[in-house]
Amino acid sequence: MSSQSAMWRVGWRSVMAHKVRFGLTVIAVVLGTAFVAGSLMFTSALSATFDQALNKAFYNIDAVVKGNQQPISREDLDRTRALPEVSTVFVHDTTSVVIAKAGEDSPLPTGGMQTSVGVWYEAAPNSDEAVVDTVTLQSGAAPEGENQVAIPASQQAMLGLDVGDELIAVSANGQFTYTISGTYSDEGVGEPGIKLLMAEPAYLDRYDAGGISTLLVRSDALSDVATVDLLKQNFPGLDVRTGTQFADDVTGSFKESMAFVTYFLVAFGLIALVVGTFIIANTFSMLVAQRTKEFALLRALGISRGQLRRSVTFEAIIVGISGSILGVLGGIGLVAGIRALMSAFGVELSGMGFGVTPRSVIVPLVLGVLVTVISAWAPARRASAVHPVEAMRQGSGANERLHKRTIGGAVLLVVGIAFALAGVVLDQEPTKTRAILVGIGAFALIVGVFFASAAASIPLVGGIGKVVGAPFGSVGRLAQTNARRTPKRTATTAFALTLGVALVTLISMFSATLDNSIRDLSENEIKVDYILMGPGTGELPLPEDAIEKVKEVPGVADVSELSYALATLEEPPAQPMMQGPTGFLSTMDGNPAEVYVMDGIEGDTDLSQPNRMVASEEVAKQRNWQIGQRVPLFNGNGVPIGDVELSGTFATSKVASPITVSQSTFNDKFATTAVVAMFVNGDGSLSKEELRQRLEEAVAGSLYVRVQTPEEFADQQAGMVKNIMNILYGLLGLAVIIAVIGIINTLALNVIERRQEIGMLRAVGMHKRQLRGMITLESVQIALYGALLGVGLGVGIGAAFLKVLASQGLDALTIPVTQILWVLFGAAIVGVIAALWPAQRAASTPPLEAMVD
């Protein structure tokens, strides 16, 4: 027991005696765990805030009434308010709009948030019974009449609006000018966004001609269940639920949508941990090599192999716990940073905490400690295998045996290539199966490169060293020799960067291929002259007056309207669809074959008549549909609203929806959204330039309707892809940062290990500047070697995956050569940056003092 306690003390003192080494290793753990902790905390905090807002909002709501077979009418609203048991009824409804200052033709900046118009309900002063949609006036006056609105005080500065200003709001209902009567505190608003609030009668007259979406009902005389029963008796055609049930449904949908964000962020956190694992493993391997004599002395004093192994493992546990605790604190800081960023963009989430839960703390702590201990296990075993007398005669362990490692790596490389090629060539197999094969191959290739890279580093690093070091004479040659001297260390250090660069290369290939594929699809697969739609991917419906004006433009031959319906075919949805106007079925009022390139058409694809649909052969085969067959149709609430006939099928189309239903099928059935895009062809009487000019004049009064050629539409979609890819690059930058820390770590430890050698070089006349240059050149060689491996790995895996995904539309395989060259240049810069501190540390080594250590 006493000897074991002594070993714990030895482990602890070793950690405290090498604070720099300890700190560098801890940082790698911190970065990985901070990202995992931050992602878990952020989603937890957002979910808790949403739950809290909903619970508060619907706490005093007894019943929620929604349209079922038909929307809620004004008569339904009046009849509900006339019930003696009902105390209060709120119209819970919004309409999406785009806003601009009066007299300006460009929309106001909204920080990416949805802008909408809703109904003004002011909370009673000093009341603790406020419910959703009740707000508090902050300045000015409450809106009255049809031409006044109030704006949220929290977004007033971002919008640059003041009380008394005039603004324009454009929606599918048309364009209207409003005067800002006041500002309000939006704590009572149940969901984020920018809401313009107006008086109820004016809102219903202007925006709810098609019916009211939702009513919120309170009763002072009945319980919530009794209130629901009462309303069901009086309104059998409407969907009535308690406020609690409604809040639970909304919360469930929100959490389901947030799950992807959590998985996405955690995935990148795990990537950071994987990269950090190699750094930690490399660090402990170097520590064991440097402390060989120390371990030999301990073994000579009677310390057993198990005790020595536990001592090294204990050091790893200290590193893991320290790094993980700091990572959890870093996660809290990350959440604070995200909140500040959201606030800067005008997204104020009042009451949002930091999301510190047992799960968001325990998971990163356990992950961090496990990763660190696993990384240190192999070095700990090597430490325990030290023979006292033999080990005391050892040097630094530069002579490394690579045969088994290289053979194993080569076998894995062959296996990886075989699986990847199988995924590529077996084009008759399902895409999922082929992707799994490539995934297995990619994993084998990554592990194979890790094992084989040590042997490969000897000739490759030597070749890189000759090129990089040539201008520096003897210093360059010395750097080349040093970088080749410990191939396993060089390979492990470089591999952290290899993983980061491989991911960056893979994402770059995916981005470039997606970009070119989108351009090909939009330019070659859409057969119309012009596409009219709102910003982004058409989230905003087109104004009705703009649609009618476009149809009346001289020179227009035909206009096909695209919309989406909240509906399903064959089976009703398991629960009511509450995701809003994003839609589930593509609908069109024209002929899709005249808009898109569609091959192998059978039957009739004209959808100008109601109760018709067109489907791909693949979908028809999967669902056992035959041309002429009628299929049941259900709205978003699961209510049957008729059936549709499969009038035609098509074999292939790169852009057409697999199922498209005629738009007129949904007329008066409370299941469709407004038009989101129009496809326009000219009749040949005007040139394309003249036709465009007339179309732009027709929609000039609409702030956001864009007239685009298929080529311009392709550019817009490609730009959106680039924005998404930039986010991925930012997240992948974390892996690169960790890799840089790994190189710094290795070089710093290398300087410590080579203290006598550096002292000798200084003693024989090497200047500080030359010594800094030598260390820097070593770093650049390692970084370039890792980057070259990463590029090769990324290109190979990326090409295989993209070949598999060619059937999904990604058939324009592109290798972004320019970006790859920039990556290699960046790797050289990384090498220089990583060497700054270790090089300075080496240069400051006193020659005589180092030689006698």
Q: How confident is the model at residue 265 (pLDDT cuts 50, 70, 90)?
A: low
Q: For residue 250, what pLDDT band results from cuts at 50, 70 and 90?
A: low
Average pLDDT of the residues in 811-818? 80
Averaged confidence pLDDT in the chain: 78
Q: Would you say 586 and 665 are in contact if contact means Cβ atoms under 8 Å apart? A: no
pLDDT in tens, 71-125: 788 888 999 999 999 888 888 888 888 888 887 777 887 766 778 898 998 876 5
Is it the case that residue 553 has pLDDT exceeding 80?
yes
Ranges of beta strands (E only) in 400-461 are none
Residue 368, burial from CB neighbour count under 10 angstroms (0-12, 13-18, 19+): buried
Model pLDDT for residues 282-334, shown as the tens digit of each residue: 666 666 666 666 677 777 777 777 777 777 777 788 888 888 898 888 888 87
Torsion of CA 646, 647, 653, 657, to 10 degrees: -50
For residue 846, the one-letter residue type is P
pLDDT in tens, 203-235: 998 887 667 888 888 888 888 889 889 998 988
The confidence band for 647, taking pLDDT boundaries of 50, 70 and 90, is very high
Q: Where are the alpha helices (DSSP H) in 100-155?
A: none
pLDDT in tens, 741-759: 767 766 776 676 666 677 7
Domain-wise residue ranges, the chain: 57-249, 454-526+712-853, 527-711
On the question of pLDDT at 168 being above 80, the answer is yes
Burial class (CB in 10 A: 0-12, 13-18, 19+), 187: middle
Please state which of the ranges 574-588, 662-676, 725-739 shows the lowest mean pLDDT. Answer: 574-588
Supply the angle between the helices 243-290 and 487-524 in degrees, to the nearest 10: 140
Chain segment 416-468, per-residue pLDDT in tens:
999 989 888 887 777 778 888 888 888 889 888 888 888 888 888 888 888 88
β-bridge pairing 640-650 and 612-616:
parallel
**What is each CA distance from 805 to 115, 414, 431, 433, 449, in whole angstroms?**
37, 23, 7, 11, 25
| Sequence letter at residue 843 | A
Mean pLDDT on 621-643: 85
Higher-pLDDT residue of 568, 627 = 627
Q: What is the mean pLDDT of residues 409-420?
A: 91
Residue 582 is predicted with a pLDDT of 40
pLDDT at site 147: 92
Judging by DSSP bridges, how do beta strands 585-588 and 659-662 pair with one another?
parallel
Query: What residue has token string 């087109």?
Result: 542
Residue 610 reports pLDDT greater than 80? yes
Instruction: State the helix-helix crossing angle for 768-804 and 473-485, rounded to 10 degrees.
Output: 60
- Pairwise CA distance, residues 553 & 196, whole Å: 33
Count CA atoms closer than 13 A to 352's CA, side-chain side.
22
pLDDT at 646 over 90: yes
Q: What is the pLDDT of residue 732?
A: 67
Cβ(310)–Cβ(7) below 8 Å? yes
What percentage of the chain carries pLDDT values higher than 70? 75
pLDDT at residue 396 in the model: 45
Q: How confident is the model at residue 187 (pLDDT cuts 50, 70, 90)?
A: low
**pLDDT > 90? residue 673:** no
Which phi-psi region, left, alpha or beta, contains residue 440 (left: φ > 0; alpha: ψ -120 to 50)?
Answer: alpha
Ranking 19-23, 243-247, 344-348, 821-825 by mean pLDDT, the lowest is 344-348
d(CA 211, CA 200): 14
DSSP characters over 29-80: HHHHHHHHHHHHHHHHHHHHHHHHHHHHHTTT--EEEE-SSSPBPHHHHHHH
- In this predicted structure, what is the pLDDT of residue 150? 93
Beta bridge partners of 101: 167
> Is the pLDDT higher at 609 or at 723?
609
> What sign results for the dihedral spanned by CA atoms 420, 421, 427, 433?
negative
pLDDT at 242: 85
Is the model's pLDDT at 613 over the cut of 90?
yes
Instruction: Please report the pLDDT score of residue 721 as a whole number.
Output: 67
SS (H, E, C) 691-728: HHHHHHHHCCCCCCCEEECHHHHHHHHHHHHHHHHHHH
First to last CA, the chain: 34
What percentage of the chain has pLDDT greater than the value 90?
10
* Per-residue pLDDT, 650: 92
- Whether the pLDDT of residue 783 is over 70: the answer is yes
Q: In which band, very low, low, confident or very high, does the pLDDT at 371 lie, cut at 50, 70 and 90? A: confident
Q: According to the per-residue pLDDT averaged within each range, which of 31-45, 417-431, 527-541, 569-583 is highest? A: 417-431
| Mean pLDDT along residues 784-811 | 83
pTM of the model: 0.65
What single-letter DSSP state applies at residue 622? H
Mean pLDDT of 815-831: 85
